[in-house]
Structure 1
Amino acid sequence: MGRLVPAVTRAMDILELFLGPDDTLSAPEITRKLGLPRTTVHELVATLTARRYLDSVPGQTGRYRLGVRTYQLGSTYGERLDLAAEGRDVARKVAETCDETVHVAILEGTDVIYVAKVDSTHAVRMVSAAGRRLPAHCTAVGKMLLATLPEQDLRSRIESAEPLSALTDRSITDPDALLQHLTGIREQQIAVEERESNPDVSCVAAPVRNSAGQVVAALSISVPMIRWSDERQEELTQLAAKGAQELSERLGFGRGRR
């Protein structure tokens, strides 16, 4: 383990005070409870407030409560726990239907991380593992997730990844070609990858949404080329979309909508 940063540790100590019975705290109370210098507490509280980890309590000058960023972090953490558990269950159902390898993945920077995976029972199948990380632009799940990003965010991530790596000779490495390709995926809400991450495998992927309608993951079906055809692609495209829809509903998408 690397050296702990004292300022970060103290900031976390302040936030963790709110795990106790106190909904609100003042700077003097924080100073007393943690035994920190008054100036240090004021600087840390000011920083946490500026970053929305703490909020000033309306009508109570000098008192603070947890801010919206702590809620967002907690919600994201809980959502991903649900995503992994529900993703495995839905992936299992999809795999039982098509007997191909099914993944659920999230986007992190310019990579995808597989959070759930269910194998095909065929002797010839895609070899991978939950937790594996791959360049997003080389995979169906990654391209699906990149296509849902706001334009500025998308371009920023692509620029940060340049030069775009190639996993096979079919990987898209030209940024302009990738942007054009993603436009089609955004319109169709389905991503197809033919031998771009593995020379012997093709995949289809569909988006997974949370209760707010945001795309938080993608579900894919991976098929060895010996079982790949136009007819099989169409069949698996529909199945991936159906599986992604079911997983979205389990995460709360569509509840209360009319």
Structure 2
Amino acid sequence: MGRLVPAVVRAFDILELFLDGGGALSAPDIVRRLELPRTTVHELVNTLVARAYLVPVSDQPGHYRLGVRAYQLGSRYAEQLDLAAEGQQVARSVAETCDETVHVAILEDTDVIYVAKVDSTHAVRMVSAAGRRLPAHCTAVGKMLLASLPDEELTERIPDGTKLVAMTPNSLTDPATLRSALAGIRERGLAVEESESNPDVSCVAAPVRDRSGRVVAALSIAVPMIRWSEERRTGLEPLVERGAARLSERLGHRGVS
């Protein structure tokens, strides 16, 4: 890496103070938090205001908030994001850590569609493919995504009395039983599937959020039953949470929702 330009670094330090969502900042706030000279802060703030990265707050003299140029850059960045491409990169990183198959999936009506997948290197592993569609209620990613829906929308998609398809004897086929399971998933923030879509595979999944905090996908780790255990599940849960959080961050999400 080449030499960093101190003035540019400090300008970005000022802008990044606004990432915590605290609202407007004054020049003394910036001096205190960054431990910079007042003259330096004054010059940097004036430059950022002139370039529309900061704007003065009309009803708070001496305070500043992010300007339209920061929004424009963020919007352009969001436009170029590709869930499948970002998901593939994160899935590869997670798979390298646990050496199990990792999926990223989205919800379409009552099905999930896998948009990214990285295989385990084990001879015995889950066989699937990006683009595959499965009933959401039979999968960990699908249950995670269904659990993120408002109750009214969930009822619209899966009305009472619906007979849900069974892929294995462990599949949930009753909407009331499914809703009870989804309530627990919503509370935990994790979903587990034990041989519900494939008798030989179990999975654990976590939600992926976009920059607005909305759940837009789920990331899962799939493990053949010969390697599955309560201990294995417990060990994988923090990994799948970190992977989903990493993908969420790459999609622009910050903080806890």
Matched to 1:129, the amino acid is A
State the identity %. 70
Matched, 1:151 2:157: no
Secondary structure in structure 1 of the residue aligned to 2:184: helix
Matched to 1:209, the amino acid is R
CA distance in 1, matches of 2:85, 2:160: 32
Match of residue 28 from structure 1: none
Matched to 1:214, the amino acid is R
Please give the per-residue CA displacement for 1:124-146, whole angstroms capped at 9, x wherever unaligned: 00000000000000000000000
Secondary structure in structure 2 of the residue aligned to 1:219: strand
Matched, 1:197 2:194: no
Residue 161 to residue 91, structure 1, CA distance change in 2 (3 Å): farther
CA distance in 1, matches of 2:122, 2:134: 24
Secondary structure in structure 2 of the residue aligned to 1:159: coil
CA distance in 1, matches of 2:143, 2:183: 10
- Unmatched 5+ stretches in structure 2: 1-74
Match of residue 138 from structure 1: 138
Structural mapping, 1:10-159, within 5 Å: 78=79, 82-159=82-159
Secondary structure in structure 2 of the residue aligned to 1:172: coil
C-alpha deviation, 1:160, in angstroms: 8.7
- Larger CA deviation: 207-216 vs 160-169: 160-169
Matched to 1:141, the amino acid is V
Please give the per-residue CA displacement for 1:29-61, whole angstroms capped at 9, x wherever unaligned: xxxxxxxxxxxxxxxxxxxxxxxxxxxxxxxxx
Q: How many residues end up aligned between the 2 structures? A: 181
Match of residue 180 from structure 2: 180
Please give the per-residue CA displacement for 1:98-127, whole angstroms capped at 9, x wherever unaligned: 000000000000000000000000000000
Match of residue 223 from structure 1: 223
What is the TM-score when the length of structure 2 is the normalising length?
A: 0.68
Q: CA RMSD in A?
A: 2.0
Secondary structure in structure 1 of the residue aligned to 2:158: helix
Residue 78 to residue 135, structure 1, CA distance change in 2 (3 Å): farther
CA distance in 1, matches of 2:107, 2:161: 14
CA distance in 1, matches of 2:109, 2:160: 9
C-alpha deviation, 1:78, in angstroms: 4.8
Match of residue 54 from structure 1: none
Match of residue 20 from structure 1: none
Match of residue 55 from structure 2: none
CA distance in 1, matches of 2:232, 2:93: 18
CA distance in 1, matches of 2:161, 2:112: 13
Secondary structure in structure 2 of the residue aligned to 1:122: coil
C-alpha deviation, 1:163, in angstroms: 1.4
CA distance in 1, matches of 2:145, 2:175: 16
C-alpha deviation, 1:162, in angstroms: 2.3
Match of residue 252 from structure 2: 252
Match of residue 235 from structure 1: 235
- Larger CA deviation: 81-90 vs 130-139: 81-90
Residue 108 to residue 193, structure 1, CA distance change in 2 (3 Å): same
CA distance in 2, matches of 1:179, 1:138: 13
CA distance in 2, matches of 1:227, 1:190: 20
